[in-house]
Amino acid sequence: MSYKITTQHPSKRAFITGGGGGLGRALALKLAGDGWTIGITDIKEEGLMESKSLIEKAGGKAHTFVFDVAKREDYKTAFERYIALVGGIDLLINNAGVGDGGLFGEYDLPHWDWITGINQMAAVYGSHFAVPYMKAQKSGHIISIASAAGIANMPNMSMYNVTKAAVISLMESIYAELHPFNVATSVVCPTFFRSNIMQFNKGDKDAAAIGQKIIQKAKYSPDEIADYILTQAGKKQFYILHPYQARLVFHVKRFFPNFFLSLKAKQFAKKDWVQKAIDQSF
């Protein structure tokens, strides 16, 4: 399958964080089928090497960068190396992310720093480094992977919600700034899909176990989500909401905010929201 976003960017140069597995790898493999040259990053070298091999088998080229996306100077160094290798950037996908759970006030402040660095600041860093190149080229596309959690803000996961809401806000803010330069932006807000996002959790172990159970039962694979993202990005969609539960949450929260807040509070007070989330297995 050839994606429309490929025809829009014939130089086919992409930089994807969190490319050592999950959604990042799935996105890279989709692009590889269209012959993209892809910079993939991860904190673990083993996963990156596996992704590199798969990308090359699929018809793409891969450059790997092992570093922590929360460390600004390391990110800057890796990004500049990538630009030196390929001469520019057409697509940035801010994908790296971690999940966690726990009650506000009980979740340790150092852990707030950790999740904010990866989920929020890495998207800021990547976008900051990419924007000057894209403006100069007068072309490019930035896709940031947020979450429906950044819209719904469910209880027992404030640390995750806040970082994803920040990513949505970032992308909404730069949309107008980049539009005159022919640089597109998209923010992806999925509900649950099968991933390893909880593997580094630092918070409440019961909350993390619940989150992992929901993720394991999810209907959608990273491959399906990646295909939808790239298809919608090719249509220059800004809000990429998938599956239908994400669209439902977006519209209910937007048009009936007080009802939505009241519903969440009532569910949490009854303590039945956890089982409902598991049973629905988005």
- State the CATH number of the domain containing residue 261: 3.40.50.720
Domain interval for residue 221: 4-280
Half-sphere exposure of residue 156: CA atoms within 13 angstroms, side-chain side: 18
What does the pLDDT read at residue 272? 55
pLDDT at 143 over 90: yes
pLDDT for 83 beyond 80: yes
d(CA 267, CA 71): 38
Structural Rg of the chain based on CA atoms: 18
SS (H, E, C) 180-245: HHCEEEEEEEECCCCCCCCCCCCCCHHHHHHHHHHHHHCCCCHHHHHHHHHHHHHCCCCEEEECHH
Contact (CB, 8 A) for 189 and 169: no
pLDDT at 215 over 60: no
Percent residues over pLDDT 70 in the chain: 85
pTM of this structure: 0.90
Number of domains present in the structure of the chain: 1
Structure tokens, 225 = 């989500």
Nearest-CA neighbor of 220 among 245, 192, 247?
192
What pLDDT is stored for residue 155 in this prediction? 87
**What is the distance, to the nearest Å, from the Cα of residue 205 to the centroid of all Cα atoms in its chain?**
23
Cα→Cα distances 232→42, 187, 244, Å: 25, 11, 14
pLDDT tens, residue by residue, 160-202:
999 999 999 999 999 999 999 999 999 999 986 545 654 555 5
CA neighbor of 97 nearest in space, from 183, 187, 34: 187
> What is the DSSP-derived secondary structure letter of residue 60?
-
pLDDT tens profile 57-77: 999 999 999 999 999 999 999
Return the H-helix or E-strand segment holding 42: strand 37-42
